[in-house]
């Protein structure tokens, strides 16, 4: 019984990986044969000029695109691109508000339209979440956010749980803020295409950028280590294992 969900997830991941690989290879082939670096630099310059000349329209377009992408699982790197294009503060608004709106949308759909199906699919983990919410309160959900537990599970299960909407909202805003700020900072420290063309790989030798990347890599691990004694699942595998263990314990 327990191996079936793992097998399905493995096949789904392999399928997604295969599609992504095909798309990347196709894109690389097209860029290599039809696009020159000079053209890319020119387009980047025009794009940045347009953002400078039309700040509000650019902000709204960027915000809309980001929010839509935030609804799609597995679309990483959005915060870095936002920082690279819009700078720190505008990108922080786009990322924080966009992620929160997407999370609230899924939370609300789960609570008011799909609660029964979520309860059936994640029954064990939902029971585990409700117990942690009763025990630790908002701190539990805040920890899930800071540890970057999978949004595709946390958002809908939270909607089906007993957590209040306000608690879900503010823990999402606060819990995601540190990592959002760091990824955006990475984006603003990345070189432009013009700098990359003129200086080559040397343009990536930037101490603040290196420090930010190290923090990005270690912060989730540090948070997960700090909260491990609560038994809080922080990855999709741990979510499944926690649900499985909870089911076995209930049967016994």
**Regarding predicted confidence, which is higher, 65 or 14?**
65
Q: Quick one: 49 exposed, middle or buried, by C-beta within 10 A (0-12, 13-18, 19+)?
A: exposed
Higher-pLDDT residue of 20 and 113 is 113
If you write DSSP's letter for every residue of 70-93 in order, what string do you get? HTSTT---HHHHHHHHH-HHHHHH
How does DSSP classify residue 148? T
Distance CA 140, CA 128 (A): 11
Q: Which of 152, 156, 172, 149 is nearest to 235 (CA)?
A: 149
What pLDDT does 90 receive?
92
CA distance 117 to 82: 35
Q: For 185-234, how does the pLDDT look when each residue is reduced to its tens digit (9 = 90+)? A: 888 887 766 666 666 566 666 677 777 777 777 776 776 666 665 555 54
58: pLDDT strictly greater than 80: yes
> Count of CB atoms within 10 A of residue 92's CB?
19
Model confidence at 1: pLDDT above 50: no
Instruction: Go through 165-189 and write b for each residue having 16 or more CB atoms within 10 A of its CB, e for each that does not.
Output: eebbeebbbebbbebbbbbbbbbbb
pLDDT above 90 covers a percentage of the chain that reads: 13
In the prediction, which pLDDT does 107 show? 92
pLDDT given at position 250: 44
Distance of CA 56 to the CA centre of its chain: 25
The answer, yes or no, to whether residue 126 has pLDDT greater than 70, is: yes
Task: Compute the distance between CA of residue 87 and CA of residue 99 in angstroms, rounded to an integer.
Answer: 18
| pLDDT tens, position by position, 32-42 | 666 555 666 67
For residue 104, is pLDDT > 90? Answer: yes
Which of 22, 3, 4, 2 has the alpha carbon at shortest distance from 14? 22
* Amino acid 111: pLDDT: 87
Q: Span 6-19, mean pLDDT?
A: 69
Task: Answer for the pair 141, 171: CB distance below 8 angstroms, yes or no.
Answer: yes
The reported pLDDT for the residue numbered 75 is 67
Q: How far is CA 152 from the centre of its chain?
A: 9
Highest mean pLDDT among 94-103, 126-135, 207-216, 219-228: 94-103
How far is it, in rounded angstroms, from Cα 187 to Cα 139? 30
Longest C-alpha distance within the chain, in Å? 67
Name the pLDDT band for 74 (thresholds 50, 70, 90): low
Q: For residue range 215-224, what is the model confidence (pLDDT) as tens digits?
A: 777 776 776 6
Residues near 145 by beta carbon (within 8 Å), at least 6 away in sequence: 154, 171, 172, 174, 175, 176
Q: According to the model, what pLDDT value does residue 187 have?
A: 84
Question: pLDDT-derived band of residue 101, with 50, 70 and 90 as boundaries?
Answer: very high
Domain boundary assignment for the chain: 53-251
**Res. 140: pLDDT tops 60:** yes
**Predicted local distance difference test score (pLDDT) of residue 200:** 59
pLDDT at 202: 62
Please state whether 235 falls in left (phi above 0), alpha (psi between -120 and 50) or beta: beta
């Amino acid at each position: 019984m327990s191996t079936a969900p793992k097998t399905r997830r493995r096949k789904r991941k392999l399928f997604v990986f295969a599609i992504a690989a095909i798309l990347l290879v196709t894109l690389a082939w097209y860029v290599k044969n039809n696009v020159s670096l000079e053209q890319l630099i020119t387009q980047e310059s025009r794009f940045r000029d347009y953002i400078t000349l039309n700040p509000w329209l650019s902000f709204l377009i960027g915000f809309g695109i980001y929010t839509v992408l935030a609804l799609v699982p597995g679309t990483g790197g959005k915060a870095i691109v936002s920082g690279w294009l819009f700078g720190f503060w505008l990108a922080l608004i786009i990322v924080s508000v966009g992620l929160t709106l997407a999370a609230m949308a899924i939370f609300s759909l789960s609570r008011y339209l799909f609660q029964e199906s979520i309860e059936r699919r994640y029954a064990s983990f939902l029971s585990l979440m409700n117990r942690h919410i009763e025990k630790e309160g908002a701190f539990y959900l805040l920890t899930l956010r800071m540890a970057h537990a999978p949004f595709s599970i946390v958002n809908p299960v939270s909607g089906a749980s007993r957590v209040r909407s306000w608690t879900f909202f503010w823990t999402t805003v606060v819990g995601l803020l540190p990592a959002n700020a760091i990824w955006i900072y990475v984006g603003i420290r990345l070189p432009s295409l013009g700098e990359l063309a003129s200086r080559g790989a040397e343009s990536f030798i930037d101490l603040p950028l290196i420090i930010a990347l190290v923090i990005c890599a270690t912060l989730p691990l540090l948070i997960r280590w700090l909260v491990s004694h609560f038994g809080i699942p922080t990855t999709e595998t741990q979510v499944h294992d926690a649900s499985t263990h909870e089911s076995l314990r209930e049967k016994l």
